[in-house]
Structure 1
Amino acid sequence: MIRIEVLGTGCVKCSRMHANVLEAVKKTGADAEVIQVKDINSIADRGVMLTPALVIDGVIRAEGRIPCVEEIEEMIQE
């Protein structure tokens, strides 16, 4: 199972990234757990300075931008 985390305080951009992640998971059929991390201390503890951020299996894959659904699909399939 893939662990996908969307880091952000719940702003519009963070919500958009979460929606893109859910769509990418659906399109790929991946066995994934999608988690939203909204706690600013938890986000900072990971070294993330810009939100939204996307973490896949513990690796920061995007920070401060919203990857498109297709880009997230590629990340999931790697």
Structure 2
Amino acid sequence: MEIKVLGPGCAKCKATVDVIDRVAKETGKAVSIEKIEDMRNIVSFGVMTTPAVVIEGKVVHKGSVPSHDQVLAWLE
């Protein structure tokens, strides 16, 4: 599963990557996490608030660090 985390590298963006990685390891799901920090690239997804999460090309979350349960639902 291809996951992109969009954000400028702030603490919330790093926390988003960490929670996705942790849940993926807990569930044994194979994920590829790409961190996108370029603002032009971020805006190209239609995102104005970060962190944002894109899964398989679709924005599924933006504006906050997702919860463990949210990430779990995405990976199922």
TM-score (norm: length of structure 1): 0.92
Correspondence for 1:37: 36
Gaps of 5+ in 2: none
Correspondence for 2:67: 68
Identity percentage of aligned residues:
32
Matched residue pairs, number? Answer: 76
Task: Spell out the pairing of 1:1-78 with structure 2 (5 A cutoff).
Answer: 2-77=1-76
The alignment's C-alpha RMSD in Å is 0.8
**CA displacement at 1:11 relative to structure 2:** 0.3
**CA displacement at 1:68 relative to structure 2:** 1.1
Gaps of 5+ in 1: none
> Structure 1 segments of 4 or more deviating over 6 A?
none
